Amino acid sequence: MLVVMDAHATPEDIQAVCTVIEDMGLQANTMPGPTRTAIGITGNQGAIAEAARLKLMPGVRDVIRVTAPYKLVSREYREADTIIEINGVQIGGPSLVVMAGPCSIEGREQLLSTAEAVKAAGATILRGGAFKPRTSPYSFQGMGEDGLKLLAEARELTGMPVITEVMDTEQVDLVAEYADILQLGARNMQNFALLKRVGRTRRPVMLKRGLSSTVKDWLLSAEYIMAEGNQAVILCERGIRTFDDHSRGTFDLSVVPVLRELTHLPIIVDPSHATGRWQSILPMSRAGIASGADGLMIEVHPNPAEAWSDGEQSLLPERFVELMEQVERIADAMDRPIQGRTKAAAI
């Protein structure tokens, strides 16, 4: 249920509605909008019997039933796109964002040189895994806190906000200390304890789609985070498992327009994990932007042949430069400049 307040509703009117909702034993989620405030009601199992009473309160314009199983995530709840701003970089705004960096942080030189290279090409967020979810327990598991320290150093050096994965509830405080965005990996999309835990931080969270998750599963996972009070959620399509094995996964770009209708949250697409092959990254990045995504996540490594994880899908820095040039042409056609490229051109 959503209570839409009148444009002239006073703060007292809004507070009075929240109090009535809370007296019903439900939660009131206030969402200020550009012209009017909406109050989302969560915690109810079915229809709210006293809804009619809310409709009669001063300052209330309308009471709308939200039919989707996810509430806070839905467009019905919030019509305007959510824009997340981190240190001057916008995610989900009119311009596009590119997150790039190595799959795993392997050392100082590797991370810092990649960070400089992707920044010069127009990336505005640096990625790098310190805790790695590997299919095999014998594969490299990540540098842990030493990796996070290097990430912080790279941020210091380049000014780029950093995104890194958190795999476990026990790591959340540590990772949140260093990271600007917490990444929740595909394998953890339905780790409900972790979703709730990151929902209680005030760090933006990028939620990757699970390998075999429907859009409904995915949005309900995002709802877990938002229901804990964290409104800064980003969705990331990273390929799903289908019957075909020509690539690592099937890059489901047809999900982008569907998400646009269902949710106000920003949408990032990750052709690196979706396809698993560097040769496919450039064309599928173009396709991702053409599909209407708000940005890309791309793996880049100074020496992919020697990478400790995901080398076969990592781009050499010079190939990343070419990708950015090509993607910019699609971005221009979409009327959505790439943030790092506009800044570079303005200097």
133 binds, among Mn ion, ligand PEP, none (CB under 5 to 8 A by kind): ligand PEP
Is the Cβ of residue 70 or residue 308 nearer to ligand PEP in the bound state?
Answer: 308
Binding-site member from 252, 270, 310, 328 for Mn ion (CB under 5 A): 310
Told to check if 130 binds ligand PEP by CB under 6 A, we report no
Is the Cβ of residue 128 or residue 340 nearer to ligand PEP in the bound state?
Answer: 128
User: What x-and-dash track marks residues 250-279 binding ligand PEP by CB under 6 A?
Assistant: -----------------------x------
3-state secondary structure the chain: CEEEECCCCCHHHHHHHHHHHHHCCCEEEEEECCCCEEEEEECCCCCCCCHHHHHCCCCEEEEECCCCCCCCCECCCCCCCCCEEECCEEECCCCEEEEEECCECCCHHHHHHHHHHHHHHCCCEEECECCCCCCCCCCCCCCCHHHHHHHHHHHHHHCCCEEEECCCHHHHHHHHHHCCEEEECHHHCCCHHHHHHHHCCCCCEEEECCCCCCHHHHHHHHHHHHHCCCCCEEEEECCECCCCCCCCCECCCCHHHHHHHHECCCEEECHHHHHCCHHHHHHHHHHHHHCCCCEEEEEECCCHHHCCCCHHHCECHHHHHHHHHHHHHHHHHCCCCEHHHHHHHHC
In the complex, minimum distance from the CB of residue 310 to ligand PEP, in angstroms, rounded to a whole number: 7
Binding-site member from 133, 144, 302, 311 for ligand PEP (CB under 6 A): 133
317 binds, among ligand PEP, Mn ion, none (CB under 5 to 8 A by kind): none
In the complex, minimum distance from the CB of residue 32 to Mn ion, in angstroms, rounded to a whole number: 37
Binding-site member from 41, 103, 300, 331 for ligand PEP (CB under 6 A): 103
Is the Cβ of residue 146 or residue 325 nearer to ligand PEP in the bound state?
Answer: 146
Told to check if 238 binds ligand PEP by CB under 6 A, we report yes
Told to check if 103 binds Mn ion by CB under 5 A, we report yes
Told to check if 186 binds ligand PEP by CB under 6 A, we report yes
Binding-site member from 92, 147, 161, 185 for ligand PEP (CB under 6 A): 185
Q: Which residues bind Mn ion (CB under 5 A)?
A: 103, 310
- Residues at the interface with ligand PEP (CB under 6 A): 103, 129, 133, 185-187, 208, 238, 273
